[in-house]
Structure 1
Amino acid sequence: MTEVWSTLFSFENYGELLVLVQNSLYAGALLGIVGGLIGVFVMQRDLQFAVHGISELSFAGAAAALLLGANVVLGSTIGSLIAALLIGALGVRARERNSIVAVLMPFGLGLGILFLALYPGRSANQFGLLTGQIVSVDNEHLGLLVALSVVVIVGLAIMWRPLSFASVDADVARARGLPVTAISVVFMVLLGLAVAVSIQIVGALLVLALLVTPAAAAMRVTASPFLTPLLSVVFAVVSMVGGTMLSLAGSLPISPFVTTISFAIYVVCRLVGPRRGRRKTTGVTARAA
């Protein structure tokens, strides 16, 4: 067991290495906030499958930018927005949306693999688009990530109440005069931006660990409209920052650590959730008696 641990992790000169990945730590914490907030609406609107579909076209855009020598974050953002707008405009009904996502996913993945196969540069850059890279966030990338994240957070803050209403009961919201279709399209754009900023850190294949799992874990332990996004953000930030720090010690891709921490949190919440529900039910029954 000790030999396995020493093979995976080495904390020699760890403090010096932390200085080198400050941008990644900042980006990870910021993405945890973005993913935790938007993930709540992803769960409420049943868009988990759509997140994966958007990530595939985001991956294709990032791979195209890598091949052309352009900014990878910008390419990822363009790919995400194209996918988000297509899904938002064409996938009004859940069945239609799932069909569109199922068509976009293999197309985006195949296109991305083609661009990577044509790319003559280092294989680490290719692998990083799929699984994330701990040292890939330079000052320019961090600036773009901050700008896109601010757009997503501000957008969610502005439309939080109508988006919550439309997510819980779209028919009633429409009857009350809310522009449900417009809200859906705007949210898909915000989701596309959130996926784009996540690709650079956790990679295209495992973006669900940031945009779905923390919110799913939070919903297992509370139904409070205040505590759910708060816990989701806490879980996402812990997964991102903790995964980044463990990845640094192991000199391995960040995504396995982020997904493992995120999954462990979900398992704990899933175990705690039913017990909490039983205690609450028992208390209500006792008071009624």
Structure 2
Amino acid sequence: MIGDRLPAEGGGTGVWQQIFNFHDYGELLALVHNSLLAGALLGLVGGLVGVFVIRRDLPFAVHGISELSFAGGAAALLLGLNIVAGSIVGSLLAAAAVGALGVRARDRNSAIGIIMPFGLGLGVLFLSLYKGRAANKFGILTGQIVAVDTPQMAWLLATSVVVLLALTIVWKPLTFASVDPEVAEARGVPVRALSLAFMLVLGLAVALCVQIVGALLVLSLLVTPAAAAARITAATTLLPVLSVVFALVSMEGGILLALGSSVPISPYVTTISFVVYLACRLAGARGNGQAARNRRPTQHQAVTHD
């Protein structure tokens, strides 16, 4: 099975071969069509949703929702039900609770701080009661992209379509409400309804990402790519495009690297995502420095002005 290779002997060499092992890579690549498609879907969904996560300052909410998504998936695993469906139910319950209880940022963060340990505790309880394969427990926490089967793919595809359709409908007013909520509300935009609607969309997106990168590392898809894009542009059209590109690079690159290893996909996705963020941060700092130098008057201009 993919990802179950025995480590080679030889200390550091064995560890390296567990992380990067491209023996029979071509044969293995033919087995992960569903995984690559799932990665593309999650890159698209994560990149677009992440734009509003950054604009609305919701990274903490992503983490909180992922804990109840984890609890829902663990409950489904224990009961022998569909894990994706369980994750979606958990995510939507958390998102609805946060959206209903947290109108203001302070209230929202308090609600998340209450929900998050509750969800994590439930998830740990359900996993401790589960007596099946340990790999199933580990997959909920750290992801299992190489094990995407056809029924799970159908769930991922259907949920992704729902998220993308919802974003298409609310994109323009949600952008207005995210950038300037006071003015948007004064002009008749239903800011509170949009906030709750987006929380539900975020819940679905979190449930999708939990299936691939796991509950512990979902931020790498729903926060880091958009945060990286925001470091180099604030343009309304370019920001989501770059966010999607960075999310796709992280997902597809993580899948292709994880395919030749015996470790989960999540370290690869998070590492690529973090490297992209660092590169964008450095590029943004250099661009800001250059802009500041261009605005600074030269000695000749200062003398002429005086």
* Same topology, TM > 0.5: yes
Root-mean-square deviation (CA, aligned residues, Å) is: 1.4
Q: Does 1:91 align with 2:96?
A: no
**Match of residue 216, structure 1, among 209, 227, 245:** 227
Name the residue aligned to 1:16. Answer: 27
Q: Tell me which amino acid in the other structure corresponds to 1:76.
A: S
SS state at 1:253 partner: coil
Residue 37 of structure 1 and its aligned partner are, at CA, apart by: 0.4
1:161-200 aligned within 5 A: 161-200=172-211
Q: Residue deviations 1:18-77, cap 9 Å, x none?
A: 122211111011100100001010001010000000000000000000011110000000
**Match of residue 265, structure 1, among 258, 276, 291:** 276
Residue 284 of structure 1 and its aligned partner are, at CA, apart by: 4.4
CA contact 2:159–2:208 (8 Å) conserved in 1: yes
CA contact 2:95–2:202 (8 Å) conserved in 1: yes
Q: Tell me which amino acid in the other structure corresponds to 1:207.
A: V
User: How many Å separate the matches in 2 of 1:242 and 1:177?
Assistant: 43
Q: Tell me which amino acid in the other structure corresponds to 1:121.
A: G
Q: Runs of at least 4 residues of structure 1 off by over 4 A?
A: 1-4, 284-287
User: How many Å separate the matches in 1 of 2:83 and 2:164?
Assistant: 22
Residue 3 of structure 1 and its aligned partner are, at CA, apart by: 6.1
Q: Does 1:45 align with 2:56?
A: yes
Name the residue aligned to 2:85. Answer: 74
Residue 108 of structure 1 and its aligned partner are, at CA, apart by: 0.3
> Which segments of 5 or more consecutive residues in structure 1 lack a partner in the other structure?
none
> Which segments of 5 or more consecutive residues in structure 2 lack a partner in the other structure?
1-11, 302-306
User: How many Å separate the matches in 1 of 2:165 and 2:122?
Assistant: 32
User: How many Å separate the matches in 1 of 2:42 and 2:17?
Assistant: 30
**Match of residue 121, structure 1, among 132, 144, 152:** 132
CA contact 1:91–1:97 (8 Å) conserved in 2: yes
Name the residue aligned to 1:274. Answer: 285
CA contact 1:134–1:248 (8 Å) conserved in 2: no
User: How many Å separate the matches in 1 of 2:84 and 2:108?
Assistant: 26
Larger Cα-atom Rg: 2
Q: Tell me which amino acid in the other structure corresponds to 2:54.
A: M
Q: Tell me which amino acid in the other structure corresponds to 2:212.
A: I
TM-score (norm: length of structure 1): 0.96
Residue 254 of structure 1 and its aligned partner are, at CA, apart by: 0.6
Count residues in correspondence: 288
Residue 251 of structure 1 and its aligned partner are, at CA, apart by: 2.0
